[in-house]
Amino acid sequence: MQALTDFNHNFIQNLEDQSGTQINQCYQCGKCSAGCPAAFAMDYTPRQVIRMLQLGMIKESLQADSIWICATCMTCSTRCPRGVDTAALMEDLRRQAIREGTASDRKIEIFNDLFLKLVEKYGRIYETGLILGFNLKTSQIFKDSQLGVPMLRRGKLHLLPKKIKAVEEVQAIFKRVREMERQER
């Protein structure tokens, strides 16, 4: 067990602010983990991840595969008798892991970046670009390829992107958000 150093203290404070929840409210009953539909695949159950945070085991919590297995279904947050928003904690741990470069699974990060780039470029999602780009960047070119032709035949995939006419308005939002964050820093 590690001592709560200044770094750890600030980390926890920031995590609680971002997720709007308090980790010391958790009394380790485990209801979150009993109800979690993805706990079977996790290296640490949601209850254990929160315990790590309570003990100041920041590094371990950021390296847990569990935070990438959480599907944000919010069963845990709904059932917690102490009002801990576990799903929000998991989400912020993902953000922190990306920032610290300790993500055990980079696929979600790659997917999110690509998704937002396409939204900024076209105003809506260009699903063919998203699927092909994701497969290419994660070196799994033929992933789900058996679904491609049936989707095209049903008109559920479009080969070419469609840009909305007001795309400049959407791009302006991306730009202003970036500027506002720069000013805040």
Partner 1 sequence: MKLAYYPGCSQESAALEYGISMRKMAEVLGVELWEIPEWNCCGATAAHSVNHLLSLALPARNLAIAEQQGLDVVTPCAGCYNRLKVTEHYVRENQQMRKQVQEAIGANYRATNRTFSVLELLVERLGIDFIRSKVTKPLKGLKPVCYYGCLLVRPVELTGFDDPEDPRSMDNLVRALGAEPVDWPFKTECCGAALTNTRPEIGLKMTHTLLKTAVEMGADSIVTACPICMLNLDMRQSQVEKEFEVKFDLPVYYVTELVAVAAGISPQEAGINLHFVEAVNLLHNLVVT
Q: Does 47 bind partner 1 (CB under 8 A)?
A: no
Contact (CB, 8 A) for 43 and 65: yes
Residue from 48, 61, 66, 75 in contact with partner 1 (CB under 8 A): 75
Residue from 13, 43, 74, 100 in contact with partner 1 (CB under 8 A): 74
Q: Residues 148-177 vs partner 1: string with x where CB under 8 A?
A: --xx--xxxxx---x-xxx--xx-xxx-xx
Q: What is the CA radius of gyration of the chain?
A: 20
Taking CA 148 as the corner, what is the angle to CA 143 and CA 154, rounded to the nearest 5 degrees? 155
Q: Residues 121-150 vs partner 1: string with x where CB under 8 A?
A: --xxx-x----------------x--x--x
Choose the stretch contacting partner 1; rule: CB under 8 A; options: 4-12, 22-30, 36-44, 45-53. 36-44
- Dihedral sign for Cα atoms in the order 141, 104, 69, 94: negative
Look up residue 147 and give its amino acid. L
Residue from 14, 54, 112, 145 in contact with partner 1 (CB under 8 A): 112
Q: How many residues does the chain have?
A: 185
- Tell how far CA 30 is from the center of its chain: 22
Q: How far apart are CA 180 and CA 160, in angstroms?
A: 33
Q: Does 31 bind partner 1 (CB under 8 A)?
A: no
Cβ contacts of 22 within 8 Å, gap of 6 or more: 16, 84
Q: Does 66 bind partner 1 (CB under 8 A)?
A: no
Q: Does 71 bind partner 1 (CB under 8 A)?
A: yes
Q: Which two tokens stand for residue 50?
A: 């929160």
* Residues in contact with partner 1 by the rule CB under 8 A: 18, 37-38, 40-41, 68-69, 71-75, 77-79, 91, 94-95, 105, 107-108, 111-113, 115-116, 119, 123-125, 127, 144, 147, 150-151, 154-158, 162, 164-166, 169-170, 172-174, 176-177, 180-181
